[in-house]
Chain A
Amino acid sequence: MKRWKQSELVPVQVELNGVQRRGLCEPRVLLSDFLRDTLGATGTHVGCETGECGACTIRVDGVAQRSCLTLAVQADGRCIETVEGLAQADGSLCELQHALRERFALQCGFCIPGILMTCAEMLKRRPLPEDEQIPGLLAGHLCRCTGYTDLLAAVRHTVAEVRRREAAHPASAPSVGVHDA
């Protein structure tokens, strides 16, 4: 059992995109705020704080979930992946990010960090989702700019590419379209 008093400053340690990070916060602080304000990882966005919009979606121990519905103290000791960790080691875009840019799939980009994290999880699933399953996997993300069409096309394209590569080279290590933190 761990017990923290209400205004106590709690040490929280997470592995953020492969780097050990720590900070202090009250038990009530939302993980979204902790990431943005304490750790300075402002790539994760906040659009509603009730779980509806999906902008704050991150991966905790690999699982895509809402950081606005998680307390920072709950993430202590966990491995967190955010949009900042997606690009390739040399800083260039990963396959999925590239596909979004090529297809003009984003406009203001505010929703994108959350969508990318859900897609990152999706691309690691085996079997990969079928085309018709993809909208259902993304239905928890609101985008107010794009009307989703190009976004879905980019995601489908990436999934298809990964599937094609794996079929061609079944022996090689799974390629996932996103950089593994």
Chain B
Amino acid sequence: MKPAPFEYVRIDHPDELSALLTEHGPEAAVLAGGQSLMPILNLRLRRPRVLLDLSRCRALHDLTPTSGGLQIGAAVTQATVLSWPRLAHQVPLLALALPHVGNPQIRSRGTLCGSLAHAHPQAELPLCLAALDGEIVLRSQRGERRIAAADFFIAAQKTACRPDEYIAQAHIPCQSIDEGSAFLEVAVRVTGQAQVACAAIAGPHRLRLAVLAGQATPQVHDYPLLPEADLRDQLDIIARSLALSCASADDDAYRRQLVVSLGLNALKQAQRARDRRAAVDAQIMEHRR
């Protein structure tokens, strides 16, 4: 299990990356944290001719709070995002989801953008990006374009990123303080690849559920505040319509079933979180008065 030969380039400046991607196109692979790409190379499932390592590119290491959200550079690791002190306050969903990604030694190298680029159907971060209406900045010599999560994930491990482009950064909008979040996941082991994961956001007037159950791309569903029975009906519809092709029919059935029960639980938890947050806010207001 050793990689096939490749040319290696250590990128110091983003322009070098664009130039080389233009030069090599599909024959090149961007190496970020390597936590997905390196196993693939070791198993020789892919054989890029050139590896473009952006991990030491200073300009891509920025994690910047902006007016409406968080701007995360291509080289920012999942561990860095998780340890950003205001994460739980500003993007609670991400703070809840990130601990489900691999384990600490994987997150210390794996990047958030790399996970989005990899677009594995079982990955938590694409799901979160979709649930949060995040955006991705794609850059090439032709220029920059900003693309919404909904348009970015096209199929399993297939994104809108063209061969001469790379993800320069991801934008994650801050969650509003009257929202509550929940992230629930089930895997065969306690840790490991998710079979089903549900990201839920509850606002004062609407509910949102993003579901990962083995289908190709994350699915996001919005609902008004419905009673539980109606929500269950809605989830039944989602479960039925999921396009799955798991190893076995049992596995498919399991995932459909879990989408309903886990989805409901996630929505309930998110609403409780929202109500808790509101109660705390009310207390603070009371206190100020």
A residues with a Cβ closer than 8 A to B are 1-7, 10, 26-28, 30, 33, 49-51, 54, 57, 63-66, 68-71, 73-74, 118, 136-137, 139-140
Pair B38/A51 contact, Cβ less than 8 Å: yes
Pair A4/B7 contact, Cβ less than 8 Å: yes
Residues 104-144 of B, flagged 1 when their CB comes within 8 A of A and 0 if not, give 11101100000000000000000000000000000000000
- State whether A64 and B108 are in contact (beta carbons under 8 Å apart), knowing that A26-B5, A51-B35, A71-B8 are contacts in the complex: yes
Pair A140/B1 contact, Cβ less than 8 Å: no
Contact of A69 among B11, B38, B79 (CB under 8 A): B38
Pair A30/B105 contact, Cβ less than 8 Å: no
CB distance from A104 to the nearest CB of B (A): 25
Residue of B3, B9, B103 most packed against chain A (CB within 10 A):
B103
Pair A139/B106 contact, Cβ less than 8 Å: no
What is the size category of the interface that chain B forms with chain A? 35 or more
Is B6 an interface position by the 8 A CB rule? yes
Pair A54/B105 contact, Cβ less than 8 Å: yes
Known contacts A3-B8, A49-B39, A73-B8; 17 further A-B pairs (Cβ under 8 A): A2-B12, A3-B10, A6-B8, A30-B2, A30-B3, A49-B42, A51-B39, A51-B106, A54-B105, A57-B105, A63-B79, A66-B105, A69-B38, A70-B38, A71-B34, A71-B51, A74-B53
B residues with a Cβ closer than 8 A to A are 1-13, 16, 34-35, 38-39, 41-43, 49, 51, 53, 55, 79, 99, 102-106, 108-109, 190-191
Pair A1/B12 contact, Cβ less than 8 Å: yes
Pair B5/A137 contact, Cβ less than 8 Å: no
Main secondary structure of the interface of A (DSSP, over half): mixed
Residues of B within 8 A of A51 (CB): 35, 38-39, 106
Of the A-B pairs whose beta carbons lie under 8 Å apart in the complex, a sample of 6, sorted by A's number, is A1-B11, A30-B42, A33-B2, A73-B10, A118-B105, A140-B105
Contact of A28 among B2, B53, B55 (CB under 8 A): B2
Pair A5/B108 contact, Cβ less than 8 Å: no
Residues of A within 8 A of B103 (CB): 136, 139-140
Pair B190/A139 contact, Cβ less than 8 Å: yes
CB distance from B245 to the nearest CB of A (A): 23
Residues of B within 8 A of A7 (CB): 5
Residues of B within 8 A of A74 (CB): 10, 34, 53, 55
Pair A27/B6 contact, Cβ less than 8 Å: yes
Q: How far is the CA of A7 from the CA of B7 in the complex (A)?
A: 8
Q: How far is the CA of A4 from the CA of B10 in the complex (A)?
A: 9
CB distance from B104 to the nearest CB of A (A): 6
Residues of A within 8 A of B109 (CB): 65-66, 69-70
B43 nearest CB neighbor, chain A only: A50
Contact of B6 among A6, A30, A57 (CB under 8 A): A6
9 shortest interchain CB distances as A-B pairs: A140-B103, A27-B8, A69-B38, A50-B39, A6-B5, A2-B10, A49-B1, A28-B3, A140-B105
